[in-house]
Amino acid sequence: MIDEELPRWLASNATAVLGVALGAHGLIQAGPELPDTDGHYHPGIGTTPLPVLASPREELPALRLKAINSNITVLDFNDAARNSRSYDEYEQKLLTESIGYLGLALFGARKAVKSVSGNLKSLR
């Protein structure tokens, strides 16, 4: 789920960062490469659907906690990450600044994830 008020470029960036993180943590697996009608092969993409949902920014912290309390894996993209030029800088900002969430990626049992995100609409 992404802050519904983000400009399109930042919403796209947040979505990409969270998608990469899901794969890097081994939560989303890539399928095998597949041939097309011309016999050309295409590298595998993620096998799990990843809907991009919109949420008011002020609701993201509560949604994050609700997901964590429901035993859902939560990855977040926040202002500290967006404004850091290195991972070390990101680490320092997390320790010294308040966190403003730009987006969350939820991974877990479908029913549990739906209980947290079910009333959200697709990002437009």
Instruction: Give the span between the Cα atoms of 94 and 78, in whole angstroms.
Output: 9
Residue 86, pLDDT score = 97
Instruction: Give the span between the Cα atoms of 59 and 5, in whole angstroms.
Output: 12
Question: How many whole angstroms from its chain centre is CA 4?
Answer: 13
Provide the 8-state DSSP code for 56: -
Residue 69, pLDDT score = 96
Residue 114, pLDDT score = 95
Residue 11, pLDDT score = 96
Residues 6+ apart with CB under 8 A from 109: 71, 72
Tokens of 32: 């095998």
How do the pLDDT tens digits run along the chain, 124 residues long? 999 999 999 999 999 999 999 999 999 999 999 999 999 999 999 999 899 999 999 999 999 999 999 999 999 999 999 999 999 999 999 999 999 999 999 999 999 999 999 899 999 9
Instruction: Give the residue among 106, 99, 118, 20 at the shortest CA–CA distance from 58.
Output: 99
Provide the 8-state DSSP code for 121: E
